[in-house]
Structure 1
Amino acid sequence: MKRTHLLRVLSGAAAIATTALALCNQNSRRRRSRGSEDRVVLVTGGSRGLGFAIAERFAQEGNRLVLTARDVHELNEARNSLLKRGAIRSPEDVLLIPADLTDQAQAASLIEHAIGHFGRIDVLINNAGIMEVGPVEDQPVEAYHRAMDTNFFAALYVTQAALPHMLYRDPGKVAAIVNICSIGGKVAVPHMLPYTASKFALVGFSQGLHAELRHKGIRVTTVCPGLMRTGGHRHAKFVGARKKEQRWFDLAATTPVLAASVKRAANHIYRAVAQGRAEIILTPQAWIAARAAAVAPESVQCLTSLVNEFILPAPLNSGPQAPHEKQSETFREPSHVTGAPWTPQSAESLS
């Protein structure tokens, strides 16, 4: 009797799950049938790399853009590139707003400026990010603060500022939030702990947003790319045995077998937004890593431990010395939202 009762309960649960899944798919198909042109798309960190590629892909479909980054000159170069490539017809199709999004007030000002100019934001793409590479012994606490501020809190600030406007949008318009996370938010990557911690936070935030906003008509897509040939490795910060750290990281980030094309990634992201996907993992290697971590977490952690022990450079701060006594680090050119700080005067050069 107990076994029969258990089978009935399981059968009922399976039926409920099947019905729920069918309803989800039906709603997704309805949303996917709606057009994707003539929308206002805001891309943070949109002046170069993946952010620029995403902006270009959306512009090619007739969407207007709001691009933001700290570096005024890179923003101007991005708009000029979009014009030269034919992605936009006129400079008026792109609004450039320099901002430091780790500052909540500037994030709020960004949204106000964008709404004041275009009247709405239909798609928000949180892409801005930084990366610091080195063993845990050589990573100061400040590295974690920097990573969380840029990779997580900047996305949080912009989303919170934009959300009220997106909730009270035109009923005929579909809204979307896209969070560019990382496979590092699914699988902990040795020598990238500040980055990994911040991306795990962003993945959790993004998945929670999807759960809370889906029934309100806002699609939230979590994007977890693997390695990509974006040129971002040239802007990473390296600590510890920095030349050795830089060598392995550059090799991984530029090898076609390991790193994906940024243009292909942008195409996948565009389609995911058009289809209302909840989550996509880019590159086969990243997909395998994420699935393996979900199914066999201990095995994956054992593998990453072996990589750390036998392949990656040894830390400099392995002894009892204070970090500042031995740590060696270097900055390359700032990444995405780093660079010249925003000032009211800096915005004048964008007009």
Structure 2
Amino acid sequence: MLTNLELDLLHDGAFIPAHPLALTNDKQLDEKHQRALTKYYIDAGVDGIAVGVHTTQFEIRDPNINLYEKVLRIAMEEIEEQNMQRPFLKLAGICGGTEQAIKEAQIAKDLGYHLGLLSFGGLGQYTEDDLLKHTEEVAKIIPVFGFYLQPAVGGRELSFDFWKGFAEIPNVHAIKIAPFNRYKTLDVVRAVCHSSRNDDIALYTGNDDNIVIDLLSNYQIRVGEKTVNKQIVGGLLGHWAVWTKNAVNMFQQLKKARKNKEDIAPFLSLANEVTDANAAFFDTANNFKGCIAGINEVLRRQGLLKGNWCLLDSERLSAGQSEEIDRVYQEYPHLHDDTFIKENLQKWLK
């Protein structure tokens, strides 16, 4: 259930990292470090977390692994333990066919999550009309946060008409735009602006290759006789799962500059630095094959994970990726938050 406080935060612009999965070397859940990650994000000042999403590894839903409900529950327990006196958005990843998505939506709702981040990965047999009906069924259970996932990691291209229809669905409140494609990003912005619910839909960047520019961009879309102004107000990003404390500070500076209409020129170099760091973390040199392992590797180096292990054996660092992470660490020391983690790690691991 979304209260007005959470809706206000969603539309003002929230910083939401995608929560990784902590594993032991035999691919079992490392609950101690899983809880430590959630504590890290809360203490870093994030506005919410997304659990059970791509960065958490979709394989947690495999019946032989069966970790979906458990990782959602662990994150919720840690959030409640903090007793925060501020609004905090709790998002649960939802995917699979309609029957599975409805089941996951009910689990998330029962656990107290505010929104379901609805992924269409693996639904290649669904037409766009099927996907809209699929969304309507999920939205009957939990408020929906849409997700345009890039094809390189399991997404599909979706049309302007699809996103316009998607925005019209009651109980859809936001869309994460993550096609890693300027043209497709613009499709979503235009579609929302052309919908009758354009004021009800908050736009979020999931374009880890263009984070800063997305957050600074203002869109002026002509709709009939009027111009609709729309902004990508916040981010829901796997990239924000690492170096989080300093990224929160950056986001707050961006929001301040945006609201006060300050000169954005000083942020343009920063934009390129963040994208370069993301290239190392997400393994763009190898078409994103090491994107989850790269995030986990950074957290391993900082002590928040014991290893960069993933549930799938095929999910691992690519050749040269570790050296690329070394490089961006050396070139952009102002972006990482190693000192913050070192000062708090033992507290989080208790």
Q: Greater Rg, structure 1 or structure 2?
A: 1
Indicate the structure whose relative CO is greater, using CA pairs within 8 Å and at least 6 residues apart.
1
Higher helix share: 1
Query: Which interval holds the TM-score relative to the shorter structure?
Result: 0.3 to 0.5
User: Structure 1 length as normaliser, TM-score?
Assistant: 0.34
Q: Structure 2 length as normaliser, TM-score?
A: 0.34
